[in-house]
Amino acid sequence: MKTLPPLIALGFLLTLRLLGGILPFAPLDVFLGRPYSLHILDRQGQLLQILSLEDGSRREFTPLHEMPEFIADIFRASEDERFFLHFGIDPAAITRSLFLNLSEGRVVTGASTISMQLARIIRPHPPGIAGKIGEAITAIRLEALLSKKEILELWLNSIPFGHRAFGVTTAAKEFFGAELDELSLPEILLLAVIPRRPAYYNPVTAPEETADAAITLFQRIGIPVGEKAIRIAARNAASRSGGYPWPFEAPHFIQYIDKRIDPSAKANGLPLTTSLDLEKQHALERALSARISGAERYRISNGSGLMIDNRTGQILAYCGSVDFFNELSSGMIDGVQVRNQPGSTIKPFLYALALEMGMTPATILPDIPSFFGGQEIYIPQNFNRRYNGPVRLRTALASSLNIPAVYTLERVGVRNFEDRLLELGFSSLQDQQNSVGLGLALGNAEVTLMELVRGFSLFPRDGLFLDLTWQGEERNRPPDNYEAADPSGQAQNQVYPPQVAGMIRDILSDDIGRVTGFGSRSILNSPFTGMFKTGTSNQFQNIWALGATPQYTIGIWMGNYSGDTVIGAPGSSLPAAVVIEMLSLFTDSSEEFAEVQGTHRVKICPLSGQRATDACFSSLWEIFPIGSEPGNCTYHRYPGGPVHYPQEFQGWADHQMYYHQQNETAGDGQQRANAPEITHPSRNAFFYFDPTIPAEDQAVRVEALSHPGDTIRLRVNGALMAEGTSPLQFLLPIVHGTYTVEAEGDGGSSTIQFQVQ
């Protein structure tokens, strides 16, 4: 009968172990799914950051087989010498603990095994006998569910050391400023005693007490190291603690991916390799910083940049600001994700839509003073305040002319362009639809740098859409024959026909095409094959540059977050310089863009965009989609003859002739002083009011020309309506009646009348 209680206890333990291996154990599942402090690596395996947990603590994971051999041996000997002999609880340790504690009349030692300590971490319990019993039961269940090595590995990676440090890997950095495999034997001994009483055993704040405990441990387990070495290591801990160089690379990139990391990746604790290239990241940071540091006089205080691999969509460099910790310039704001007005960087997408709808690079667009809209009159101007008359689409895009862009948007339709941009991934526009109007052609909506870079990369990629990825694996690489991935001949994510993407690529890599807007010495005239687009927002708060080679696409934003207008005239040369520098560093100069698919070249007249004839003054080659070749030039009818402009350009041509006549000098060498000329409406013209059209949509264009620089004042029926320099225009709302228009200038005045019936 005396043996019955032990047999009952043994039977209970065996039953518990058996059931523990069969029944699910939710607390263990939750524990195994908790996050570790991830080691974030660049594509080459270089450490970018070690993430903190949500509460600011760190808990890193190191597989048991990667830990130095003495780590597991010393910690196991310190806490549970018979770890491999028991099944979760150690009867021998319990007996010894009871004897010693009773004989001393106080708690001298405990009987917790490593399994019980892990059980307490997994399932915390209140103090007392009931809590200890629950801890023992949990330990037995753990032993039934996990192997000894798994338990030891989990415990070593979860031990609380205080100071928000969990696990031996983080503790090595916290107390000795070193990696785990860099610790000496004395330091491992010191580390092993800290978990017993983290508030007391601390080599930084209590080196002697911690050394005493470590010496007792080494004497017990016989590690070959002397007392002196242990005390020296303890005294040196204060100088080494906090000295670990926690890396802090690419902070905005890390913030971006941290929201997108699969929780399972954080739970397994293994290093996470990203797509970032630290060499390119550092180069981008240096290039941005160098330009921003000298731009204070322009009120440019910050900048951001993004560089991707066109073949895979992988993010290679991601700089959200110049200085993450600079509060004055709002350095913690991620400029890659902030919405700003893109200015002219939106134009390639507009002209791509126009090409899709039947225009060609030779389509003639008007670059003349123009009015757009009805009640809200929109009068765009080019950045250089010059007008070029009829221009080819190629010139309009490459030279970033504003009036042709607005004209083009009016014809393709604002809603169509908005919808197309949404299809291209510009999701920022979803809440701006129907509110931007024709100003969208000049970038008055707000988009992000990431959206611009992703969209711009469509052109070197022949219109194939790849979403951007931060992951190290090349998951997005398209097949070599992606054009035939669908029975229709296009891949499922082919958002532009290859010929459309190719024509935009050809235009934006044309140094000659941008001469009209940027001159012959533009910074964009690169020594390598590349396509470029710059932009400035309406209020000059944002300046941009986009660039692409066959392999890379990069985008740069500069400006400020205070809303201040940029001072002076830096234009987009500063961000463009960063684009050129980055692509120069990493581009293979032998790489060329692919030939534009589905097109061939035709010799055209540069003025009309039509097929050149013997009557044309000059000619050049232009690409056309097969089947859309132009007819013969109609501007030039015989060699040496006059230019026959279409009616819509006749006013501009007359204006140019007027300038020419006014610039002729009199016999005394002085320019003639002439009164302004009212060129529209014609003298004694009749206009008819249409009752079927809203009154606010009916107006007459009034235009006056004078010598360049002279001030013109336009009055209608005696009231001053407009004042400015030539050419001066405005729209006059009309009702029935007679109107007298007077144009007064430095050389006199002229008057005409017209009627509205």
Flag whether pLDDT at 139 surpasses 60: yes
Backbone φ and ψ for 186, nearest 5 degrees, come out as -60, -40
CA distance 633 to 208: 96
Flag whether pLDDT at 100 surpasses 90: no
Q: Contact 603/611 with Cβ under 8 angstroms?
A: yes
Q: What is the pLDDT of residues 703-715, one digit of tens each?
A: 888 776 678 888 8
Flag whether pLDDT at 590 surpasses 90: no
Largest CA distance in the chain: 141
Architecture of domain 663-756: Sandwich (2.60)
CA distance 757 to 754: 10
Residue the block writes with tokens 């009871």:
98
Residue 584: predicted pLDDT = 94
Which residues of the chain form CATH 3.40.710.10? 286-586
Ranges assigned E (strand) in 477-587: 531-536, 542-548, 552-559
Query: What is the rounded average pLDDT of the residues 9-33?
Result: 69
Residue 569: predicted pLDDT = 53
pLDDT greater at residue 499 or residue 729: 499
DSSP state at residue 428: G
Residue 370: predicted pLDDT = 66
Confidence of residue 1 (pLDDT cuts 50, 70, 90): very low
Confidence of residue 488 (pLDDT cuts 50, 70, 90): very low
> Which of 369-373, 487-491, 616-620, 666-670 has the largest mean confidence?
616-620
- Residues forming a β-bridge with 724: 712
Quickly list H helices, 474-572. Answer: 498-508, 515-518
pLDDT greater at residue 387 or residue 141: 141
Residue 721: predicted pLDDT = 76
- Tell me the two tokens of residue 398: 């490459």
Q: What is the pLDDT of residues 655-674, one digit of tens each?
A: 666 555 555 544 444 444 57
Confidence of residue 20 (pLDDT cuts 50, 70, 90): low
Q: Contact 291/545 with Cβ under 8 angstroms?
A: no
**Helix (H, G, I), strand (E, B), or coil: what is residue 38?**
coil
CA distance 532 to 546: 6
pLDDT greater at residue 583 or residue 107: 583
Say which amino acid occupies 606: P
Q: Is the Cα torsion angle 704, 705, 707, 708 positive or negative in sign?
A: positive
DSSP state at residue 386: -
Residue 187: predicted pLDDT = 94
CA distance 198 to 206: 11
Ranges assigned E (strand) in 552-598: 552-559
- Tell me the two tokens of residue 311: 């073949």
Q: Contact 563/619 with Cβ under 8 angstroms?
A: no
Q: What is the pLDDT of residues 499-536, one digit of tens each?
A: 999 999 999 998 887 776 666 667 777 788 899 999 98
| Residue of 40, 111, 49 whose CA lies nearest to 81 | 111
Query: What is the rounded average pLDDT of the residues 219-238?
Result: 88
Contact residues for 195 (Cβ-Cβ < 8 A; gap 6+): 79, 159, 160, 161
Q: Contact 558/292 with Cβ under 8 angstroms?
A: yes
User: How close are the terminal C-alpha atoms of the chain, in Å?
Assistant: 126
Rg (CA), the chain: 38
Helix axes 414-423, 402-412, angle to 10 degrees: 90
| Residue of 724, 720, 725, 718 whose CA lies nearest to 740 | 718
Residue 755: predicted pLDDT = 80
| Residue of 542, 554, 584, 551 whose CA lies nearest to 317 | 554
- Tell me the two tokens of residue 685: 């013209």
- Tell me the two tokens of residue 90: 């150690």
Q: What is the pLDDT of residues 284-335, one digit of tens each?
A: 999 999 999 877 777 788 999 999 999 999 999 999 999 999 888 888 999 9
Q: What is the pLDDT of residues 49-83, one digit of tens each?
A: 999 998 999 999 999 999 998 899 999 998 888 89
Confidence of residue 106 (pLDDT cuts 50, 70, 90): very low
| Residue of 162, 167, 81 whose CA lies nearest to 118 | 167
pLDDT greater at residue 544 or residue 692: 544
Residue the block writes with tokens 């004497």:
219
CA distance 232 to 229: 5
Flag whether pLDDT at 273 surpasses 90: yes
685-687 and 748-756 beta bridge pairing: parallel
| Residue of 78, 84, 89, 165 whose CA lies nearest to 120 | 89
pLDDT greater at residue 275 or residue 665: 275
Q: What is the pLDDT of residues 622-661, one digit of tens each?
A: 999 999 999 999 999 998 888 888 877 776 776 666 555 5
Say which amino acid occupies 447: V
Contact residues for 171 (Cβ-Cβ < 8 A; gap 6+): 159, 161, 165, 191, 194
Q: Contact 42/277 with Cβ under 8 angstroms?
A: yes
CA distance 167 to 314: 34
Flag whether pLDDT at 151 surpasses 70: yes
- Residues forming a β-bridge with 41: 47, 273
- DSSP string across 269-285: ---EEBS--HHHHHHHH
- Tell me the two tokens of residue 707: 């010598």
Class of domain 19-37+57-240: mainly alpha
272-273 and 39-41 beta bridge pairing: parallel
Flag whether pLDDT at 186 surpasses 70: yes
Q: Contact 447/557 with Cβ under 8 angstroms?
A: no
Say which amino acid occupies 539: Q
Q: Return the percentage of the chain with pLDDT > 70, whole number.
A: 82
Confidence of residue 408 (pLDDT cuts 50, 70, 90): very high
Which residues of the chain form CATH 1.10.3810.10? 19-37+57-240
Which residues of the chain form CATH 2.60.40.10? 663-756
- Tell me the two tokens of residue 23: 């029944």
Contact residues for 29 (Cβ-Cβ < 8 A; gap 6+): none
Residue the block writes with tokens 């990696």:
179
CA distance 31 to 61: 14
Confidence of residue 435 (pLDDT cuts 50, 70, 90): confident
- Tell me the two tokens of residue 83: 């770890």
Flag whether pLDDT at 172 surpasses 50: yes
Flag whether pLDDT at 14 surpasses 90: no
Residue 350: predicted pLDDT = 97
Residue 11: predicted pLDDT = 54
Quickly list H helices, 587-680. Answer: 650-662
Lowest-confidence range among 65-74, 129-138, 168-177, 265-274?
Answer: 129-138
CA distance 585 to 128: 67
Q: Domain 286-586 falls in which CATH fold?
A: Beta-lactamase (3.40.710)
CA distance 129 to 531: 75
- Neighbour count for residue 68 (Cβ, 10 Å): 17
Burial (CB < 10 A; 0-12, 13-18, 19+), residue 462, is buried
Residue 194: predicted pLDDT = 95
The mean pLDDT value of the chain amounts to 84
